[in-house]
Amino acid sequence: MTQLLFEWKKILTYKTNYFGMVVLFLLFIVPVIFFSSDIAQIENIQLRNYQANLEISKQAEKNMEDVPEAIGQLEKVKESNELMENLVNTYLSDKESEKLVAEYQYEKIQLRDLQDGSLVGIPIVEQQKKVSSLEYLIQNDISKVYDNHNSIPALNYLAQIFKGKIPAALILMICSLLLANIYSFEKRNNTISFFNILPNDLNHTAVNKIVTTTLFALITFVVPVMLTFLFLLVRNGLGNLNYPIVYSPDGFEVSIMTVLTFIMKSVVLNILFIIFLSIMSFFISLFTGSVIVNAGILVAMLLLSESPILKVEPLNNFAQFLPFSYVNADEVLLSGSFWEPISNISITFSNGLTVLSVYSIILCVASFSIIFSKKKI
């Protein structure tokens, strides 16, 4: 216990170790304070878009009236225009509940036209997501939340962070720099030999180092998240725990995950990944005291996860067994992004828990085996 406290106090003593915590908090809080819009501005932009589309569609309807072959399509255009006009009117009257219903009715018609081929636009599954989200909001009497407005509730904003508003690789890189700095400290300052000649069990010393460093890295991640949450909780409220996040697990069907479930699973994956990075950084420190080499290896692997290499055959076939396939929690949980569905459907939350845990254990065993054979840390 004495040595554990010694390691902990040593970490707390050096002010540079708090740098990552400050940077992460600024990354989380700055966008919602300085780069968000008023909800009235967002809705005004959306209204102008609807009005512009309605004007274009009305002109198309008028042109089709003189084309006998377009009678079937003309009826669909008229129906769509009526619903869009109703949607514009609800925006002008500013009746929130009516606005949501009108938007749902319009988007549902758009989905129908996409499915029967009479309309060309976004992928059908993306339109299905829109319709499913609006339907869920109406059925559960939940108000719609816009992503980038300055009154966004705490839960919805945390979900935005974990959905990639702040790149996951960047968050983990900051943690990696912290880990490399702490683990290489003794070797950089030529004090590691002091620990190696102490009568204490080296394995016990190593465990203390891993536990304290990992704990501090987790605090570096969790504290900014909690401070951001508390700031927005006081400023904008909690939000609805059951707010829907719609995704497609297979690229065809859609499913709904609540915002609370998404945040909790994202936090768990990030925590497991930080633990994995910590043990990996310790493993690297057994071979080198260079913070540049240690951090460089971790950062390079995180950058590798952002490259298309893992999506290329045959590597993609067993990507689910590689820990760096689970860097982006949002892509794991939501089966990819709007632009690119996940390339390997076996990259899932449950597999991520297993893979990260197994690799962490393997690195632990390897580290203690090296300590045992070298008789030093």
Mean pLDDT score, 211-233? 97
The mean-pLDDT minimum among 221-235, 247-261, 282-296, 305-319 falls in 305-319
Judge whether 370 and 335 are in contact, CB under 8 Å.
no
User: From CA 260, how far away is CA 240, in angstroms rounded?
Assistant: 9
pLDDT of 67 higher than 90: no
104: tokens are 């749902």
192 pLDDT band, cuts 50/70/90, is low
Q: Which residue has the tokens 């997501």?
A: 129
Amino acid identity, residue 182?
Answer: I
> How long a stretch of residues is the chain?
377
In sequence order, which residues have a C-beta less than 8 Å from that of residue 238 and are 6 or more positions away?
153, 154, 155
CA terminus-to-terminus distance, the chain: 19
Sign of CA dihedral 192, 197, 199, 204: positive
User: From CA 104, how far away is CA 83, in angstroms rounded?
Assistant: 10
> How distant is the alpha carbon of residue 70 from its chain centre?
45
User: From CA 240, how far away is CA 74, in angstroms rounded?
Assistant: 41
User: From CA 351, how far away is CA 332, in angstroms rounded?
Assistant: 10
User: From CA 158, how far away is CA 371, in angstroms rounded?
Assistant: 41
pLDDT per residue over 94-139, tens digit each?
777 789 999 999 999 999 989 988 888 888 999 999 999 999 999 9
pLDDT of res. 322: 93
Mean pLDDT score, 240-250? 93
Number of C-beta neighbours around residue 149 at 10 A: 18
185: tokens are 């400290």
User: From CA 280, how far away is CA 297, in angstroms rounded?
Assistant: 10
Q: pTM of the full predicted structure?
A: 0.91
Cα angle 249-252-253, degrees, rounded to a multiple of 5: 65
pLDDT of res. 339: 66
